[in-house]
Structure 1
Amino acid sequence: MTWMLDRPRLALAILLLLFLLPGPLLLQLNLDNAPEAYFPKDAPAVQFDREIRERFPQEQVLVALFEGEDLFEPAFLSRLHEALLGIEGEPLVERVLSVLTADHIRATPDGFAVEPLVDPYDLAARTPDQWRERTLSDRFAPGLLVSTDGQALALVVRPHPLENSLQRLELEQRVKTHLKETGLDERVTALAGHIALDVAQLRSMITDTMAFIPATMAIGLLLLWFMFRRWLVVVLAAATIATVVNVAVALLVVFGKPYTLISSILPPLLSAITIAMLMHLFNTVVHAAQRGYSGRERMRQALSMVARPMLFTGLTTAAGLISLATSPIRPIQTFGLVAAAGVVLVALLSVLVLPALIVHWDRGTWVQQRGSIRWLDRFTSFCARLSIRRAGWVVGITIVLMAIGIPQIRHVEVETDLYAFFSDRHPITQATERVESRLSGVMPLEVVFDAPEPEGLLAPERLAEIQRVQAWLDARPEVDYSLSLPDMVEQMHWAFHEEDPAYRTLPDTRQLIAQYLFVYDGNDLHDVVDRDYERARLLLNLNAHGSSALNQLMDDLREELTARPPGDMDWDLAGMGRLFADQERLLIEGQLRSLLAVTVLVLGLMFILWRSPAMAGLSMLPNLSPVLLIFIVMGVLGIWLDMATAMIAAVAVGIAVDDTIHVVHGYRARRRAGASPPWAIARTFRHAGRAVTATTVVLVAQFLILGLSAFQPTASFGVLTAFGLLGALVFDLIVLPAVLVLVWRSRAT
């Protein structure tokens, strides 16, 4: 570890190289928080959805809502048509749906005709009231394109397949531009849909990154200055943080991974961990200086005390983060691996590179400011006295509190609800509520039916089976709107028979159905059936957003279709509704895997470090405590286990183990020197306890900053992790020492 001390130029070259090399790569960073980036590529739901998109259009759309009394006036409809034509001309757009483009089936003397619901090229053919009446009497438009009172119209932009969030942002901006150019931007009362949601998340991600990186870095540097009053400390810490963050983010580019809302936690997390590690390094240098060492020998003494525990803290923290690689959620996997690489880099820089630079440029004194450590000494002295003198009470009270709290974990709900990720005051939340109150739910779900042969869906008995399933779904409170092939065939049959209500039924012959479909010359038919008439979609708009409610609906539907199969047709579920619902299972699997992995990895590393099964087991107490405390709080406060909070356990354990290693390492070193457990604890707290407490304060402050995020999962992640680390500090400085004292007393008797 001291080989680099005589090579400061090499150390500086390594630091500069690591700082500068990622620069060009960062320019290629792919900002993408689209839903597709989260799902495992080999998951059955993802594969089936990909198959469906080969035959049918996208179901992720952008919805612009207009409200007012004049929506059917020629002046408004003309401007709406102008905006629509401009949007349809955009290369990202596949189709724009509105009352001006939707098909309307009506009777004619010789059969039926398919024409625009509202003809933008012949608005004078009817009065505004007549256009409104025609639209509201249409079978398919109300609830989808127009409100039931005729006071709201929707412009639904359906894109070609989009590659990432930046394309969704570009699409939204282009739509806004066309609306502004036609003077309709002020008439838009809501802009919603999954594309708008993705854009809102992208903006939140960029805002959080720009705000939290400098904020967490500033807090850490201020505390280092407060503790050591050395500009050298601040400069080296800033350079190390920038280097580690740059390398970690560049790794995303190297491995072709997107920068998501999960990834946006990387910079503040690595900044916090870097400050914590450097706190231990600088604190040990001060300790060596207080013992009379100077220059190169002072750093040698400091490294002899801190290098081994720092390397192991790096390994254990990395192990905790690597456990996230067992999650089936791809951004969580990437987060764990990249964060682990960043932590290992911090540890190596701290024990190899920075010591050489400190020795080379050190021109001041290393005396810790008395004012800055007085409160630390008072706190650690209190913890030492409490854990030594009241060991039995400490352990007993801890057991009682855990016995009361652990049952609350059963109240933790696994839930993924993208629309609950923002506050009620957020524009995307308000826009979604507005659209759903005026039209229908924005969560799409598809029931896909496959006939056993081409043109199999021309059989009336198969259409009747689809219609039966649709009726069952329409009776569910989660379903606001549905559309199917039987609906369109039934409408054609009704129109062909001069709109006689008695014929609003399915035809009873295959030949008649084939004739209707052959005559149909509109644009909407192949949204619900492929051109071979072999595969059909039952389209649903749901008002349910959470994975629990979606899973309940889908489980009930599967049970219904299992008990009453739709004839000889195969069936399956697709769409964003199913993909998000499947996340609940994936999150549970990932959480269980990561908890098991982090426990096994950290326990194994503890055994290697201490060479004692008993000590390895005891040292796990403060490491697992954050997990229990966090889940207890989540159960009590009703905080969901979602994308971000699913990472807390591994992150909290990985960070908490650092302080445990420093405390136990100091305790065992003094025990080997012949000190009694009480004396070893007191002396360890005098040295390591300061750094442990100071690093926890830094980490807690930095994670609490994340609580200011407008994105609720990020805010919950920050606050809960901070709480877990405070709990780990209590276990490190009070509970673990009390257990050690009780074990020593029991052996002494």
Structure 2
Amino acid sequence: MIEGLHKFRFWLLGLVLVVCALLWPGVRAAVQVDNSLEAWFLEGDASLQAYRDFQQRFGNDEVMVVVVHDEQSVLTPEYFQRFRRLSQALERIPAVAGVIGPGNAMVPQRAALGSSAQPLLKANTKPAEVRQLLAKHTVLREQLFSPDYRTARLLVQLRQLPDFDAQRGNIVAEVQRTVYAHVPRAHAYLGGVGVIYAGLNALSQQDFGFFLGLGYLLMFAVFALLYRNGWLLLYVLGIVGLATYVTLGVYGALGHRLNLMTVLLPVVLILLGFMDAMHVINERNLVAAPGMSRQASALQALCNTFSPCLATMLTTVAGFLALVTSPMAILQNFGLFAALGIVLCLGFTFLLGVLILPLTQPAPRATRATSSALARLYEIILSRKGAFTAASAALVLLAAAGTTLLRADTYTLGYFPRNHAVVHDHHAMEQIWGPYMPLELLVEAKPGHQLTDAAVVQAAAAFADSARTLPGVGRVFGFQSLYQAGLETHFPGKGRAALLSQSLLRKVHEQLTADYPQLAAQYLHVPSQTGRITVSGAMLSARQLTAKTDTLLRMARNTLGAVAAVRPAGYQPMYARIVQYVTTSQTNSLLLSAFMVFGLVWLYVRSFRLALLTVVPNLFPVLVLLGVMGWFGIALDTATASIGAIVLGLCVDDTVHYIHHYRQARLGGQSPHQARLSTITHVGPTIVLTSIILFAGYAVMGFGSLKTVELFGVLTAVSVAAALFGEIIIFPLVLERFDRVPKRQVA
């Protein structure tokens, strides 16, 4: 195999370069970010279908909330002019479907039903006139102003565009520029789902890219210091670079774009690319003998490491392919293309090995110095194995206790730095306006009822009253609010009581659909007899949002259950479902991959006993990772759930090399003690040096300002350290305790 690669190495290199050229368009397409729902969910997913059904009925539910505040009052001629001009400017933005705010609010004149409406703010409107007018329209006032009239709110409704998710960042930026052009920045605040996720996407791309790049730079710098050989540096760079390039090229050519999960593909590939390369490099340093040519030592090292590297590739690929069982498209793609990249890492490790390694001289200094240190450490471990065993057991118990505290949740706003503009505006809006994040509920009239039935409308009004009593709930507005507002025009102060009249309800419904078709369409879908109720609440974590939704649904059953069915809709329940899917899928796939990896290791070493013993060092760092997350209150979410699979891939790589050399030593006639010593001095240097490089690279990500970047870097670095402890300390102790069989039984 290796001789064939060496013979055709230039032809194969030429083929690789041609493939890279052909994949360039795919790479360019792949590096564009796409966090759309289609990227997360499978096409037939019931949640995605329900969300699309909601959008078909009521349009895009993503609304930007603009709050304008003044310590004195916003009821001044100056603010009236600003509101009118701001509404007009926002409505001219192509992506904006409509604006609901003081600047364009229409107030029905008190006359017979079907009368025309007048603008709330005209060119010469006086503040006293606005107060007097809104005193008669309490529902309208509640939506536009705070009770003290120091704060006004505008709702910017966005269009349902085919590529809305890709354009979200630009749309949010354009709305922000428009708002600040008409209202001073110190008096205007923006919020909403779109604002939060646009800010998170922008910051994650910037922060993750910078710190990941800095981490990679540090890794290669440490590698260069350890080996002091430019050709070896080129070797490692070539493996990681080519594997990443080709993987992204295929990924983009198949129509995929990077998202919050697949942006981790380079992380996976640099981990495993580094490890395979360093196993080859250190093997070459150990097999090189005086008088042996550079080519001979290089090819011998490649031959010696091919079998264990192939086994590690298969076990790691199996682990990531377990993600294909996930019900989410984003996890399936992550597992599939991570597996592709790992296969490519193996291929480029040996192709570039036959090309570059014969050009270099062996550099045994770092390898042999580390080997000698590990031999001394091993003797210390054996002389104090009771203390090391107790320390290891204590770590296992401590980590296991931490896992009992682990919870699955996410709080998106918590990912931002505390001084970020999105966080500042959010807190300011909650303080001066109140809870504003929308949770959508759909009210579907049961057979025999219509939305205009007095029983349905009154039940909806009763539900809204109950919802307002919940902690963290602010304004509640829905189809019943439109009916009440229409009735208040003719019965000031008695609009709620007028909801009892079936004839009045039907007349006001006709007026709404005729005079305010756009507004009515946002809360009423006549063909399906479905109404919409928006509950404004505090920004919650996914777990809290689920609990709040369950409480609201119980209230809805008590008030509306006899006449209508109520279900959550819109984006927020979808996000809670994403977290549920991710954490469940990662947990299930981690268990499945562990079984698959164990089975493949068993087949490779052909010894159930040895395969069973490898479970301990493989699962120890995963246990430490989960334990640290539990003790420090770090939730399992979209940012952290993928680390377990990455860590398992990291551990399996080292374990397979370790057990391969140990088994060869035992079959070669060495005693268990001799086999352990020769293995730890032969394979150990690679494990130690790789861990140093990877720890340095990922620890630097802990300085990121974005919480996702910080957590990913710190937790990966902790896992690398735990994996090193498992391989160098725990695994030899396990082998010393449980593998004392004669050499003939090893096979």
* Residue aligning to 2:475: 481
Amino acid at match of 2:383: R
Write out per-residue CA displacement over residues 294-330 of structure 1, whole angstroms, 9 at most, x where no aligned residue: 2332123102221111122222222222223333343
Deviates more, 1:473-482 or 1:434-443: 434-443
Write out per-residue CA displacement over residues 124-155 of structure 1, whole angstroms, 9 at most, x where no aligned residue: 1x323543565577434556443333222233
CA contact 2:86–2:182 (8 Å) conserved in 1: no
Write out per-residue CA displacement over residues 355-407 of structure 1, whole angstroms, 9 at most, x where no aligned residue: 221256x0x4212335x863x34652344124433334433442344234313
2:100 equivalent to 1:102: no
CA contact 1:49–1:575 (8 Å) conserved in 2: yes
Amino acid at match of 1:366: P
How far residue 35 of structure 1 moved from its aligned partner, in angstroms, is 5.3
CA contact 1:40–1:330 (8 Å) conserved in 2: yes
Query: How many residues in Structure 1 have an aligned counterpart in Structure 2?
Result: 736
SS for the counterpart of 2:57 is coil
2:3 equivalent to 1:11: no
Give the structure-1-normalised TM-score: 0.92
Cα distance, 1:156–1:462 mapped onto 2, change above 3 Å? closer
* Residue aligning to 1:150: 149
- Residue identity over aligned pairs, in percent, reads 23
* Residue aligning to 1:381: 375
Cα distance, 1:678–1:518 mapped onto 2, change above 3 Å? same
CA contact 2:288–2:362 (8 Å) conserved in 1: yes
- For residues 323 and 147 of structure 2, what CA distance do their matches in structure 1 show? 48
CA contact 1:630–1:720 (8 Å) conserved in 2: yes
Write out per-residue CA displacement over residues 198-218 of structure 1, whole angstroms, 9 at most, x where no aligned residue: 211221232135314532332
Cα distance, 1:365–1:634 mapped onto 2, change above 3 Å? same
* Residue aligning to 1:505: 497
Write out per-residue CA displacement over residues 603-646 of structure 1, whole angstroms, 9 at most, x where no aligned residue: 11111111111111101111111221111111111001110211
Q: 1:604-683 to 2 correspondence within 5 Å?
A: 604-683=599-678
Contiguous gaps of at least 5 residues in structure 1 = none
- For residues 372 and 128 of structure 2, what CA distance do their matches in structure 1 show? 80
- For residues 682 and 189 of structure 1, what CA distance do their matches in structure 2 show? 68
CA contact 2:621–2:726 (8 Å) conserved in 1: no
Q: 1:124-273 to 2 correspondence within 5 Å?
A: 124=124, 126-131=125-130, 134=133, 138-141=137-140, 144-162=143-161, 163-179=163-179, 182-184=181-183, 186-187=185-186, 189-273=188-272
2:587 equivalent to 1:592: yes
CA contact 1:217–1:268 (8 Å) conserved in 2: no
- For residues 348 and 433 of structure 1, what CA distance do their matches in structure 2 show? 52
How far residue 454 of structure 1 moved from its aligned partner, in angstroms, is 9.3
- For residues 560 and 65 of structure 2, what CA distance do their matches in structure 1 show? 35
- For residues 632 and 384 of structure 1, what CA distance do their matches in structure 2 show? 27
2:353 equivalent to 1:355: yes
SS for the counterpart of 2:476 is strand
* Residue aligning to 1:312: 311
- For residues 135 and 225 of structure 2, what CA distance do their matches in structure 1 show? 69
* Residue aligning to 1:463: 457
Amino acid at match of 1:150: Y
Cα distance, 1:512–1:669 mapped onto 2, change above 3 Å? same
Write out per-residue CA displacement over residues 45-102 of structure 1, whole angstroms, 9 at most, x where no aligned residue: 3222211111113221223332224633333432443333232122211112211223
Amino acid at match of 1:384: Y
* Residue aligning to 2:296: 297
Amino acid at match of 2:236: A
Cα distance, 1:14–1:491 mapped onto 2, change above 3 Å? same
- For residues 116 and 240 of structure 1, what CA distance do their matches in structure 2 show? 70
Give the structure-2-normalised TM-score: 0.92
SS for the counterpart of 2:310 is helix
Write out per-residue CA displacement over residues 86-124 of structure 1, whole angstroms, 9 at most, x where no aligned residue: 32122211112211223434533x4585646632xx231
Cα distance, 1:686–1:495 mapped onto 2, change above 3 Å? same
Q: 1:565-604 to 2 correspondence within 5 Å?
A: 566-604=561-599
Amino acid at match of 2:342: V
- For residues 201 and 34 of structure 1, what CA distance do their matches in structure 2 show? 14
Amino acid at match of 1:721: T
What RMSD, in angstroms, separates the aligned Cα atoms of the two structures?
2.7
Cα distance, 1:562–1:177 mapped onto 2, change above 3 Å? closer
How far residue 485 of structure 1 moved from its aligned partner, in angstroms, is 2.0
Cα distance, 1:346–1:301 mapped onto 2, change above 3 Å? same
CA contact 2:73–2:149 (8 Å) conserved in 1: no
CA contact 1:446–1:575 (8 Å) conserved in 2: yes
Deviates more, 1:673-682 or 1:82-91: 82-91
- For residues 116 and 259 of structure 1, what CA distance do their matches in structure 2 show? 49
* Residue aligning to 1:369: 365
CA contact 2:242–2:348 (8 Å) conserved in 1: no
Cα distance, 1:378–1:469 mapped onto 2, change above 3 Å? farther
How far residue 595 of structure 1 moved from its aligned partner, in angstroms, is 1.8
2:544 equivalent to 1:549: yes
Q: 1:519 aligns with which of 508, 511, 514?
A: 511
How far residue 482 of structure 1 moved from its aligned partner, in angstroms, is 0.6
How far residue 743 of structure 1 moved from its aligned partner, in angstroms, is 2.1
